Structure 1
């Protein structure tokens, strides 16, 4: 990608795109759990029903200019809206910046931007509603597969498609076994998400797959322990696991192969 556009141009452009996508994700996070359409009706104030004009829907800027209130009725607009927009902008910018580092080939950028977007949506929904909607998770199989095929075509590395398939099946099967063994501790939404994440991580290699899958449990364990020590949770408290799966996958994408190589070197296996 550096041969096409310089980093100082593509990274800000990705951030701008992320801010726009973040504005749309606010709609997704609000409507999908309620079974509502994400395209109709147009965005409106939940208090007075006044349709939001385009100039009041500019990511982050409009919220600041309106001082966090509806122009029509003065109702407060949650700070979550600009935070999601800004957070998505940062996530997209960092992902684009990674295209200039050795973490992954630039051809993988489209699928990683896609996962940055739905990862934020799924995290917010799972934290609030304790569910991972099929409306987001199931289409991710098709979108991820198509974008990974595109990445293989651009790189000429078709062997990665086989490891992607193996990764999808392996991680899906592993989570399915966990869900069957501990019905109260693992939901089937996690199982379905695992297959799609396994496809992405498998394309990157065995190190990314293993580290990405294992990191979810490490991160979940650390946070769970911290919550119990702080008196915010008990051993019976159900903590959404989807966010840890997504964060663990990010570790696998950006550092999985490097961590695996380091482990093999330290243990003398390679």
Structure 2
């Protein structure tokens, strides 16, 4: 493990995550609703999408967003090392932070962001596998994506499931990335979200911050599970 690589990865994650709040604030709207054109708190009009720091001048500094980006990117830098996979997952980490923030705010994973995550991961990894003469690795990634889609699709169809199609789509993309890394990563990445979300739900119930019928975001757990899977 190179300390410099870990440091550079963490700095990249922190710097990129600093631009997440404005984009997340604009996209955290109900399905079918246009992106937010003004701040939800003070009604200040938004004239752009790119802003480092708080989503609006009325909001506080995005400390936790930046910390999450730094920790996730640094952990991947330490686990993966100087490999082509790291060049793919670092930009994907920023999109993952964006999806997590949006899901926490409005219980939704926008298709356009999930598609962007697929765009920055699936084609580069497919090309990398073919150039390295490892078509079997690409096949494994495709099988893992299919298994993830099937598993979460079945859960989403169950009564009282609490999962949406956005979760199924995200799980499919993450399944491809985990499959590229290997079957142990895939198994850990599919199991960990449930081990993460379960205790969180119990803690919220115990503190009476949520009821039995309260919808909870599952996207952050999916992303955290994928992070753990890639780090083993």
TM-score by length of 1: 0.71
- Give the Cα–Cα distance (whole angstroms) in 1 for the partners of residues 172 and 46 of structure 2: 41
Match for residue 65 of structure 2?
84
Match for residue 123 of structure 1?
100
Residue 122 of structure 1: how far off its partner (Å): 0.9
- Give the Cα–Cα distance (whole angstroms) in 2 for the partners of residues 86 and 211 of structure 1: 24
* Pairing 1:235-254 to 2, within 5 Å after superposition: 235-254=212-231
Q: How many residues align?
A: 225
Match for residue 75 of structure 2?
94
SS of aligned partner of 1:208:
helix
* Pairing 1:105-124 to 2, within 5 Å after superposition: 106-124=83-101
Partners of 2:193 and 2:225 within 8 A in 1? yes
Give the number of the structure whose alpha-carbon radius of gyration is greater.
Answer: 1
Greater RCO, CA 8 A, separation 6+: 2
**CA 1:12 to 1:253, structure 2 compared with 1: closer, same or farther past 3 Å?**
closer
**CA 1:113 to 1:209, structure 2 compared with 1: closer, same or farther past 3 Å?**
same
- Give the Cα–Cα distance (whole angstroms) in 2 for the partners of residues 50 and 227 of structure 1: 34
Residue 153 of structure 1: how far off its partner (Å): 4.8
- 1:193 correspondence with 2:188: no
Match for residue 213 of structure 1?
190
Residue 235 of structure 1: how far off its partner (Å): 2.2
- Give the Cα–Cα distance (whole angstroms) in 2 for the partners of residues 29 and 168 of structure 1: 26
Residue 196 of structure 1: how far off its partner (Å): 0.4
Residue 139 of structure 1: how far off its partner (Å): 2.7
1:21 aligned residue (16, 21, 36): 16
1:146 aligned residue (115, 123, 126): 123
Where does structure 2 lack aligned partners over 5 or more consecutive residues?
A: none
Where does structure 1 lack aligned partners over 5 or more consecutive residues?
A: 64-68, 71-75, 256-270
